[in-house]
Chain A
Amino acid sequence: MAVGAASGRVPDVESLREYERRLEETTLRPVLVTSSWYWVLVGVLLAVIGVGVYAWTTQLDNGLVVTGMRDRVAWGLYISVFVFFVGISHAGTLISAILRVTKAQWRTPITRIAEFITVVALVCGASLIVVDMGRPDRLLNVIIHGRWQSPILWDVLAITTYLTASVIYLGIPMVPDVAYFRDRMASMGHRTRAAFYRFFAIGWEGLPGQVKALSRAVGVLAIIIIPIAVSVHTVVSWIFGMTLRVGWNSTIFGLLFVAGAIFSGIATLVIVMALLRRIYHLEEYITKVQFVNLGYLLAAFTLIMMYINLSEYLTTGFKLEEGEEFLFRQLFLGQFAGLYWFYFIGGLAIPGLIILFKRTRTIAGIVTAAVLVDVAMFAERYFIVISAQRVPLLPYEPFDYMPTWVEWSIFAAAIAFFILLIAVFVKIFPIMAVWEMVEERKLLGRDGESAAPAPDAVRGRS
């Protein structure tokens, strides 16, 4: 990697060209070369999705009776997965936008991946809402008869806005990279492909006026997308927070959900990033810096999550209003205790410790922590949704909810769809923000600082 960097010299034009060329080749490789393993993966994913589609047709034929949900636990796995996916979607845009606004340069190689996770997760999450509806054929009623006052409509509006903004935010910074693809495809004689990329490249030629216009658009979007992202998961939490149920009737639900969303978003980003890095050999660009910095963010969020949990459960548990005791028993001692303590110990404490100790703060360690966090956050979404509904509202026996094969199949299909979309994306669009990375390197060069992103190199200089 960057040869002249360690010595602290200003990278000359030649090495910058070299860097750019290598970077472009690396990004183009997934599009040009496809291994047979890829098709195996796609086959497996399609099979899983097929099973899910079959399960859904069963559900459409027979009604939601094929699920484990009933009147007293009227929302189950679908809604939990929806909340989880919308949470993951914060990976992306929020992280990449915040880091862009704060000009954290290490984020450049991973922004593209993060932004794409956002779009894909939102698509998956929104489709689960349709699956959960009793009358998906009446989906348009939400538009025809929609009421501003309903949290569901807030959700529809927030998610539509977020999805649109995310797609644009994904697309605009990608224009120069797509333009490069366009040129390469044209020079290699792929006319159809070139035409495809030409559409997305909107005539990018790297003209100074174009650079200016593009940067301004990205700047505006990076700022507006932060409040939009915060609003999205706040509003998702209000689906629950706007009810009178014990366990949901909470004022800090918005905060809990947004923090959890960013938390699981970072974890998902770490996992996807590690996989793509391994598969497409991005080691030169996605280095330990990205992992460690995201790891620090994760560690910070484990503490934030613990704090919010403390605030929520101590304030309600101290007083133990009607129904709270039932909720607490099932959550901490009863049938949700396994999930809860896995979430708290396996999803908050252990990942935090992994990142805390230098010995375990390796790429492998951080990825392990991220996997733990993602699984735990899914468990958290699940027990938040289910446990509150299990509290009896009148003198009756609590209903035990257990998802059926239909729900599990659709859940698996949603995950498979998520992976499939990312796999397809990788084969079509540049997975790294080449143009931005080169621009930043130019800037670094001008400032007379080290062009190398690796901390080891920086340390070597000083």
Chain B
Amino acid sequence: MKGALRWLILVTVVVSSLASASSAARADHLDAEVSAPQTVAAGEVVQMRVVVRLADSGARVPGAVVVASRDASMLGIDGTVEIARSITDRNGIAILRWREHSGRSDTVIVAYAAAGEVEFESVPESVVTEGLGSQIVRSNNGVRIPGLGAWVLIALLVGVWAIIQFAMIGPIQVSREAEASRTIDHAGQEQVP
């Protein structure tokens, strides 16, 4: 997996006029300026900075809701999933933040709507990622304590068994003694005649 993977993120910016200052704003009069890192790998936390302005005056819009979403598919079901959501601050800046889980190529369109209306305008934005990233979630059961493992049990067991075996020398010696005495005995008997 060496080749750089190219992908694009679809960013939908939904702007609603929550703040009184921007109440006059309309979707087709808004402009969104998106700045995102050029390279993103799976597992990384992505921060996307979105500046929302009025298109005609260039004035920044506070209190606008900004939503990032992306097309996705799972087990035969397709749809759009929201991956981040934020509200612009006093300076019309919103930070979208999420942990990147995807590794696919997507198309990015930046769209925005005016207050009280569901009318989208879109501007394509693209981000290039290189590298796939590694597994984010792992299925690992239990806790591993360094140095502690089955070998402790094995060592214990081997030790105990060694002692039991050591005790078995007793009967062996008993047997040997008997044999030794018997050898002498036989020798004695042979010498008698």
| Contact surface of A with B, Cβ cutoff 8 Å | 148-149, 154, 157, 161, 164-165, 168, 171-172, 175, 202-205, 207, 209-210, 213-214, 216-218, 220-221, 224, 227-228
Per the 8 Å Cβ criterion, residues 158-193 of B in contact with A are 160-161, 163-164, 166-171, 173-175, 177-179, 181-182
Task: Collect the chain B residues with CB atoms within 8 Å of residue A154's CB.
Answer: 153
Task: Decide if B154 is an interface residue (CB 8 Å cutoff).
Answer: yes
A148's contact among B150, B171, B178, by CB below 8 Å, is which? B150
A409 vs B157: C-alpha distance in the bound complex, in angstroms? Answer: 36
Task: Collect the chain B residues with CB atoms within 8 Å of residue A203's CB.
Answer: 174-175, 177-179, 182
Tell me, rounded to whole Å, the shortest Cβ–Cβ distance linking A382 to chain B.
Answer: 30
A41 vs B87: C-alpha distance in the bound complex, in angstroms? Answer: 89
Sampled A-B contacts (15; CB under 8 Å): A157-B153, A161-B161, A165-B164, A168-B167, A172-B167, A203-B175, A203-B179, A207-B177, A207-B181, A209-B173, A210-B173, A210-B178, A213-B169, A213-B171, A217-B170
Q: Contact at B164–A214, with CB atoms within 8 Å? A: no
A308 vs B164: C-alpha distance in the bound complex, in angstroms? Answer: 32
**If A148-B153, A149-B150, A207-B177 touch, does A202 touch B160 (CB 8 Å cutoff)?**
no
**If A204-B174, A210-B173 touch, does A220 touch B157 (CB 8 Å cutoff)?**
no
Tell me, rounded to whole Å, the shortest Cβ–Cβ distance linking A142 to chain B.
Answer: 15
Q: Is the interface on chain B under 10, 10 to 19, 20 to 34, or 35 or more residues?
A: 20 to 34
Known: A207-B178, A210-B177. 12 other contacts (CB 8 A): A149-B150, A168-B164, A168-B167, A202-B174, A202-B175, A204-B174, A214-B174, A216-B170, A217-B171, A221-B164, A224-B164, A228-B160
Task: Collect the chain B residues with CB atoms within 8 Å of residue A148's CB.
Answer: 150, 153-154
Q: Contact at B178–A204, with CB atoms within 8 Å? A: yes
**If A172-B171, A218-B170 touch, does A202 touch B178 (CB 8 Å cutoff)?**
yes
Question: Interface majority SS on A: helix, strand, loop or mixed?
Answer: helix
* Chain B CB within 10 Å, residue with most, of A161, A207, A213, A228: A213
A224 vs B153: C-alpha distance in the bound complex, in angstroms? Answer: 16
Task: Collect the chain A residues with CB atoms within 8 Å of residue B153's CB.
Answer: 148, 154, 157
Per the 8 Å Cβ criterion, residues 5-64 of B in contact with A are none
| Contact surface of B with A, Cβ cutoff 8 Å | 150, 153-154, 157, 160-161, 163-164, 166-171, 173-175, 177-179, 181-182
Task: Collect the chain A residues with CB atoms within 8 Å of residue B178's CB.
Answer: 202-205, 207, 210
A148 vs B149: C-alpha distance in the bound complex, in angstroms? Answer: 9
Residue of A nearest to B152 (CB): A148
Tell me, rounded to whole Å, the shortest Cβ–Cβ distance linking B161 to chain A.
Answer: 7
A157 vs B156: C-alpha distance in the bound complex, in angstroms? Answer: 11
Tell me, rounded to whole Å, the shortest Cβ–Cβ distance linking B49 to chain A.
Answer: 47
Q: Contact at A213–B167, with CB atoms within 8 Å? A: no
A224's contact among B160, B170, B181, B182, by CB below 8 Å, is which? B160
**If A148-B153, A161-B160, A205-B181 touch, does A220 touch B174 (CB 8 Å cutoff)?**
no
Tell me, rounded to whole Å, the shortest Cβ–Cβ distance linking A94 to chain B.
Answer: 15
B164's contact among A164, A171, A218, by CB below 8 Å, is which? A164
Residue of A nearest to B154 (CB): A148
Q: Contact at B174–A175, with CB atoms within 8 Å? A: yes
A217's contact among B150, B168, B177, B182, by CB below 8 Å, is which? B168
Q: Contact at A220–B160, with CB atoms within 8 Å? A: no
A205 vs B168: C-alpha distance in the bound complex, in angstroms? Answer: 18
* Chain A CB within 10 Å, residue with most, of B163, B169, B174: B174
* Chain B CB within 10 Å, residue with most, of A157, A171, A202: A202
Residue of A nearest to B150 (CB): A148
Tell me, rounded to whole Å, the shortest Cβ–Cβ distance linking A197 to chain B.
Answer: 14
Task: Collect the chain B residues with CB atoms within 8 Å of residue A214's CB.
Answer: 170-171, 174
A48 vs B72: C-alpha distance in the bound complex, in angstroms? Answer: 69
**If A157-B157, A161-B160, A224-B160 touch, does A213 touch B170 (CB 8 Å cutoff)?**
yes
Task: Collect the chain B residues with CB atoms within 8 Å of residue A172's CB.
Answer: 167, 170-171
A157 vs B157: C-alpha distance in the bound complex, in angstroms? Answer: 8
A171 vs B181: C-alpha distance in the bound complex, in angstroms? Answer: 23
**If A157-B157, A207-B178 touch, does A202 touch B171 (CB 8 Å cutoff)?**
yes
Task: Collect the chain A residues with CB atoms within 8 Å of residue B177's CB.
Answer: 203, 205, 207, 209-210, 213
Q: Contact at A220–B175, with CB atoms within 8 Å? A: no
- 4 closest A-B pairs by CB: A217-B170, A203-B178, A148-B150, A213-B173
* Chain B CB within 10 Å, residue with most, of A161, A209, A218: A209
Task: Collect the chain B residues with CB atoms within 8 Å of residue A157's CB.
Answer: 153, 157
**If A149-B150, A202-B178, A207-B177 touch, does A220 touch B171 (CB 8 Å cutoff)?**
no
Task: Collect the chain B residues with CB atoms within 8 Å of residue A213's CB.
Answer: 169-171, 173-174, 177
Task: Collect the chain B residues with CB atoms within 8 Å of residue A217's CB.
Answer: 167-171
A220's contact among B150, B161, B163, by CB below 8 Å, is which? B163
A427 vs B157: C-alpha distance in the bound complex, in angstroms? Answer: 35
Task: Collect the chain A residues with CB atoms within 8 Å of residue B157's CB.
Answer: 157, 161
Q: Contact at A210–B174, with CB atoms within 8 Å? A: yes
Task: Collect the chain B residues with CB atoms within 8 Å of residue A220's CB.
Answer: 163, 166-167, 170
